Amino acid sequence: MPLSLSILTRLQHQYEALSELTGGLTEQQLKQRINPDKWSAFENIAHLAAYQPMFLGRLEKIAAEDAPSFERYVAEKDPLFPTYLDRSSDTLIHLITARAGEITAHLTVLNDTDLLRTGLHPKYGKLTVPQWTQFYLLHEAHHLFTIFMLTQDLRTASV
């Protein structure tokens, strides 16, 4: 049961949309909150950067323990998240790129037995490694779509 081509392709390329989505916008524009109650494009990028080491940690815990249980991830409770907010968007995108490679490398060497290992999600229950990876990729895609909408609003407002 190797990872599907869909998962592998998204692992290798989905994050690349960040540079395309943010190209031509200044740091100040990316940090602008379109909706005062919602994250800016920059804050979404920082969240994606902070989420990656947590996901790698979950994969490592799944490999080391039998069906470990995980709490819901909340960025505001993550001690790393504020440190990512202090970095530049370029630095964050480079970090996301490097970690995407680490995640892909980690997952592509797993054998069928490793891929069948599970971890318990608080809402979705027992998930295999491919299911956790699907969850990770869909979460990333959600934030990429949010960044798309925010950056398009920024571009439209500056015309």
Q: What is the pLDDT of residues 8-36, one digit of tens each?
A: 999 999 999 999 999 999 999 999 999 99
Mean pLDDT value of segment 81-108: 97
The type of residue at 26 is T
| Model pLDDT, residue 145 | 98
Q: What is the pLDDT of residue 159?
A: 66
Q: How far is CA 12 from the centre of its chain?
A: 13
Task: Using the predicted structure, report yes or no on whether residue 77 has a pLDDT greater than 90.
Answer: yes
Burial class (CB in 10 A: 0-12, 13-18, 19+), 21: buried
> Taking the CA of residue 142 as centre, how many other CA atoms within 13 Å lie in the half-sphere pointing to its CB?
8
Beta strand 118-121 pairing with 125-128? antiparallel
Q: Averaged over 70-88, what is the pLDDT?
A: 95
Rounded to 5 degrees, what angle do the CA atoms 139, 71, 47 make?
Answer: 40
- pTM for the complete prediction? 0.96
- Name residue 105's beta-bridge partners: none
Q: How far is CA 57 from CA 51, 86, 119, 129, 151, in A?
A: 10, 23, 12, 13, 31
Overall number of domains in the chain:
1
Domain with residue 63: its CATH number is 1.20.120.450
- Is pLDDT above 90 for 100? yes
Position 1 scores a pLDDT of: 62
**pLDDT at residue 158, as a whole number:** 73
Range of the domain at 143: 5-157
User: Per-residue pLDDT for 106 more than 80?
Assistant: yes
